[in-house]
Structure 1
Amino acid sequence: MNSLGFPILSLMLAIPMAAAVACLYVNAQNARMLALVATLVDLALGVVLWINFDASPLGPQWQFTEYQPIFGRFAWALGIDGIALMLIMLTLFLMPICILASWEAIEKRVPEYMAAFLFMEVLMIGVFTAQDLFLFYIFFEAGLIPMYLIIGIWGGKDRIYASYKFFLYTLLGSVLMLIAMLWMAREADTTFIPALMNYDFPVEAQTLLWLAFFASFAVKMPMWPVHTWLPDAHVQAPTAGSVILAGVLLKMGGYGFIRFSLPMFPEASAELIWVIFGLSMIAVVYTSLVALVQQDMKKLIAYSSVAHMAIVTIGLFAFNRQGLEGAMIVMLSHGLVSGALFLCVGVIYDRLHTREIGRYGGLSINMPKYALFFMLFTMASVGLPGTSGFVGEFLSLAGTYQVSSWVTLVCTTGIILGAAYMLYLYRRVAFGELDKDDVRAMPDLSHREMWLMAPIAAVVLWMGVYPESFMAPMRRDIGTLLARIERAKPVGDAQFAMGKPQVKAEAHGEAH
């Protein structure tokens, strides 16, 4: 169904693609303006998309669909549901901010840099809109190329090592997924993702298929122990590269679990739930402890990202509405908050050219606007009520509790440890004595930097105060997914479910 009467999704892909090509033929300043205008136009189209999306219970699941056969089973098939809509909006919202963040920080090969970012926007939107199995794979894998170039050309002194590590980890993880896709297309005789989501694959084959997809999505999330590429990539990437890497690229793994692993292989998802829970518990505790001892601000935030994404994975595999809705809100919130924290690091790095925490201190005295925004994003990362961080984590852990109280207990320690390392970071950067001359000379936020911070701060508070506006478009689609995986739902160990105490089976012969 396309209620607008024109192919808006193809247009959203075509605009940044055309702008990326045009950037290569203009000078640096014109490339900056062209990239900013293209991303703002795409954001405006995204707002049109959201306004016209039918989120009513009786509305169609797949909307703004386009289908054009190319050859054989391969087709240009696009369409979105509420889950894809929210992740597309996150992408469109962060892209103009990334362009503005690079306005002065990037001075060499500016047209190529802007073209790489615009090309990456095309591929990220493509991942969330693709409805053909192999079209999804092309977008999913091609997203590696611009990020590889952004880290390798415009990154720090160890950029070559970090870019190769990023590329090899994510590419090798996807080889098994491609093999699984070929088998699935032959077995189901279709490459149409909505049809595959309702196809019952043989139970004996589901485990191998699930593991093949898991190999790719676990690296993208990234889950422990295949997370080691992330801190290196973040440390070496330019500020805007870190923002889009943490903000959107990590979410592709979670989107993959929702779109493929859970609906297509529900029995295998239930059977292997211990793998997800076990790795997530280790990730929350281990990476939080590692974050506590970091001296590099970017590394600290990168390790915190691994811990937060572990909260996403336990919520996704809780097999209930609270867990799934919570996981989606955590993904959206983390995309905003982690992106904002990397922007905060970039602001002071541009002034002092160091990310070492010990070099700062007392910034609340000479940079009060900066300290205020930094505090808001720190509180959101910790999960303070009233911010976006609280809503998602609470729902995700509440959903997980219905499946395993022990997993919930261990993962809740991540909130405590998260408060420890984030507040420790903020104290060392914003408070204390302002006793270094170069730090004392640092000016507060410029107008351009205010335009980077203020929109994210507004959405973080909006999501924290009124999360329903973000949950409403996804609610029907999460219900559809729950109906699909209900048959494989594991038995939980919690004594309370949906607010009602469960009577022990020994006493009454059955649980009520």
Structure 2
Amino acid sequence: MLSVIVFLPLIVAAVVAAVPAIRPTAAGWVWVAVSAAELILITGLWAGYVDPGPNRLAYEEQVPWIPGVSSSYHVGVDGLSLPLLAMTAVVFLASAIYALKNSDRPRAHTALFLFLEGVSLGVFVSADLIVFFVFFDLSIVGMYFVIAGWGHGNAARSALKFFLYTFLGSLALLLGFIGLYVFSDPHTFDILELVAAHPLENNPVAGGLVLAAILVGLAVKTPTVPFHTWLPPAHTDAPTTGSAVLAGVLLKMGTYGFVRIAMPILPEAWRSWAWVIIIIGIVSVLYGAFVALAQTNLKRMIAYTSVNHMGYIILALGAVGLVIDDTAQARSVAVTGAVVQMVSHGLITTALFLLAGVLQSRSRTYDMGSYGGLAAPAPRYAAMFAIASFASLGLPGLSGFIAEFQIFAGSIAVAPITAIALLGILLTAALFLRALQQVFTGPTQGQSAGFADLHGRELWPIGGLLALSLLIGVVPQTLLAVIEPASATLVNLVGR
């Protein structure tokens, strides 16, 4: 089943790209149909999911691939990956519906996004380092062509910067993976075997160097300070659906790599680096929020909030490395909060970027100063933006609150100094409230005059994403029941 989920979009992408008989008007519906089928298949996986236990995967498939280096096509899911698999399908379906009216090379556009969907799903089911790396790298290639081919402004430059930064990070990641292979006995790239073998257990210097390479590779993709500089221009100049997928899905590949690879395979090195990781998380939280507060470009502001929100995840995962007596439960809560934050950020930020794209499609500008009183001509747009903003700042009743509450409850219990990062929530509230006041309140003026409200193609995907955020905020147990056992397992692995 997992192979069908991964390769269905890839096969359809190849067909759409190779068959010119597919009408441009039908290409967008192909993307919608495939994404809907993916969501149905993953929902079926979720319905039948049973926690597989420590260091095991559900729906596991394994086929020899490169036997000379003990690498196989090995896929499976657990409570850390299944929620991200579902979130990926939701984000791509919402983006597909939003892009139905795209008239700029629709066949190529559909083929490229289906390719991105397939490789993104592949990352989250990989149980072999080489398979993970292949899908990880292909996502960089796909997003480069999305930004360069359908972006605006300085899209070519932004796409090049994105590719060079993230590809350099992937080379560091590959170096770390090779280090794990070299120091494992027997040599293998299989993630489950590496977790069980616990390589570099008694080699702190080599373990620290290997972890450093993996951290750099994943931190660039996340991105965290100081590896974030590619993100704002990439988001600003990317097409709307490109920004949605980049923020909603691709950024999670970095943080997922921490919980799937770095933490369970190199627990001693992770514990040694814990305070460094916590400090990076706190800096990312505060820096992202402060810089977002200074922006006048709405899309750029949302991009910097991603640096802020991903910083919460890094902070929580760093706190897990502080193995102190009687804190196992608190550290498990921190991991659960981090995974919920990955899902929540994917839903909310995708909605925010789709809303920003509406401004670009109507008025050709993201400048907040060009609008005013937009709530009068576009009440549905104003309502959706307000809900997305409150979800992003962590208002109770929405998914952001569930994630951030658990992150801080777990982290502060282990390391009280992490409470400094609470300032990030206050700054996020300030920047979104400022945006709401500037764009939506007061007399209608500037680009707001004659602004058309959301229509079905825009309203349904944005509303669906926010409805899921509300569902998680009100009934979180459906999600938490899947994540919590896997979080407890990860905490035990880091503490061994």
1:110 Cα offset (Å): 1.3
1:139 Cα offset (Å): 0.6
Taking structure 1 as reference, are residues 54 and 127 closer, same or farther at Cα in structure 2, changes over 3 Å only? same
Q: 1:268 maps to what in 2? A: 269
1:60 Cα offset (Å): 8.5
SS at match of 1:65: strand
Q: Does 1:14 align with 2:10?
A: no
The 5-angstrom pairing of residues 55-66 of structure 1 reads: 55=51, 61-66=56-61
Provide the C-alpha distance between the structure 1 equivalents of 2:349 and 2:31, rounded to a whole number of angstroms. Answer: 23
Provide the C-alpha distance between the structure 1 equivalents of 2:492 and 2:252, rounded to a whole number of angstroms. Answer: 23
Provide the C-alpha distance between the structure 1 equivalents of 2:228 and 2:54, rounded to a whole number of angstroms. Answer: 39
Q: 2:16 maps to what in 1? A: 23
Amino-acid identity (%) = 35
Q: 2:297 maps to what in 1? A: 296
Q: 2:189 maps to what in 1? A: 191
Matched-pair contact (CA < 8 Å) for 1:127–1:140: yes
Letter in 2 for 1:344: L
Q: 2:432 maps to what in 1? A: 422
Matched-pair contact (CA < 8 Å) for 1:62–1:79: yes
Q: Residue 467 of structure 1: which of 449, 458, 476 is its match?
A: 476
SS at match of 2:319: coil
Q: Does 1:242 align with 2:274?
A: no
1:476 Cα offset (Å): 1.5
1:49 Cα offset (Å): 0.8
Q: 2:65 maps to what in 1? A: 70
Q: 2:114 maps to what in 1? A: 118
1:347 Cα offset (Å): 1.5
SS at match of 1:143: helix
Provide the C-alpha distance between the structure 2 equivalents of 1:51 and 1:187, rounded to a whole number of angstroms. Answer: 39
Q: 2:96 maps to what in 1? A: 99
| Structure 1 unaligned spans of 5+ | 1-7, 488-512
Matched-pair contact (CA < 8 Å) for 1:23–1:35: no
Q: 1:321 maps to what in 2? A: 332
- C-alpha distance after superposition, 1:68-110 (max 9, x if no partner): 1123223211111111100000000111111122222x32211
Q: Does 1:258 align with 2:259?
A: yes
Taking structure 1 as reference, are residues 66 and 58 closer, same or farther at Cα in structure 2, changes over 3 Å only? closer
Provide the C-alpha distance between the structure 2 equivalents of 1:196 and 1:334, rounded to a whole number of angstroms. Answer: 30
The alignment's C-alpha RMSD in Å is 1.4
1:450 Cα offset (Å): 1.6
Provide the C-alpha distance between the structure 1 equivalents of 2:46 and 2:297, rounded to a whole number of angstroms. Answer: 38
Provide the C-alpha distance between the structure 1 equivalents of 2:113 and 2:337, rounded to a whole number of angstroms. Answer: 30
Letter in 2 for 1:212: A
1:180 Cα offset (Å): 2.3
Provide the C-alpha distance between the structure 1 equivalents of 2:177 and 2:338, rounded to a whole number of angstroms. Answer: 25
Q: 2:177 maps to what in 1? A: 181
Taking structure 1 as reference, are residues 60 and 190 closer, same or farther at Cα in structure 2, changes over 3 Å only? closer
The 5-angstrom pairing of residues 90-489 of structure 1 reads: 90-104=87-101, 106-188=102-184, 189-202=187-200, 203-204=203-204, 205-319=206-320, 320-408=331-419, 410-436=420-446, 438-487=447-496
Letter in 2 for 1:276: I
SS at match of 2:81: helix
SS at match of 1:366: coil
- C-alpha distance after superposition, 1:284-340 (max 9, x if no partner): 222211111111101000011101110011111222111101111111111111111
1:59 Cα offset (Å): 9.3
Letter in 1 for 2:193: A
Q: Residue 77 of structure 2: which of 77, 80, 86 is its match?
A: 80
1:402 Cα offset (Å): 2.1
Provide the C-alpha distance between the structure 2 equivalents of 1:484 and 1:372, rounded to a whole number of angstroms. Answer: 44
Matched-pair contact (CA < 8 Å) for 1:162–1:229: yes
Q: Does 1:53 align with 2:64?
A: no
1:58 Cα offset (Å): 6.2
Letter in 1 for 2:489: T
Taking structure 1 as reference, are residues 71 and 404 closer, same or farther at Cα in structure 2, changes over 3 Å only? closer
Provide the C-alpha distance between the structure 1 equivalents of 2:493 and 2:197, rounded to a whole number of angstroms. Answer: 10
Taking structure 1 as reference, are residues 472 and 167 closer, same or farther at Cα in structure 2, changes over 3 Å only? same
Provide the C-alpha distance between the structure 2 equivalents of 1:420 and 1:86, rounded to a whole number of angstroms. Answer: 30
SS at match of 2:64: strand
1:274 Cα offset (Å): 2.0
Taking structure 1 as reference, are residues 468 and 61 closer, same or farther at Cα in structure 2, changes over 3 Å only? farther
Provide the C-alpha distance between the structure 2 equivalents of 1:397 and 1:131, rounded to a whole number of angstroms. Answer: 30
Provide the C-alpha distance between the structure 1 equivalents of 2:35 and 2:220, rounded to a whole number of angstroms. Answer: 28
- C-alpha distance after superposition, 1:237-296 (max 9, x if no partner): 001011111101011111010011111111111111122122222222222111111111
Taking structure 1 as reference, are residues 211 and 331 closer, same or farther at Cα in structure 2, changes over 3 Å only? same
Matched-pair contact (CA < 8 Å) for 1:65–1:80: yes
1:44 Cα offset (Å): 0.7
Matched-pair contact (CA < 8 Å) for 1:43–1:89: yes
SS at match of 1:279: helix
SS at match of 1:70: strand
SS at match of 2:152: coil
TM-score of the pair, normalised by structure 2: 0.93
Provide the C-alpha distance between the structure 2 equivalents of 1:67 and 1:58, rounded to a whole number of angstroms. Answer: 18
Taking structure 1 as reference, are residues 58 and 200 closer, same or farther at Cα in structure 2, changes over 3 Å only? closer
Runs of at least 4 residues off by over 4 Å: 57-60
Matched-pair contact (CA < 8 Å) for 1:61–1:477: no
Deviates more, 1:318-327 or 1:19-28: 19-28
Letter in 2 for 1:71: I
TM-score of the pair, normalised by structure 1: 0.91
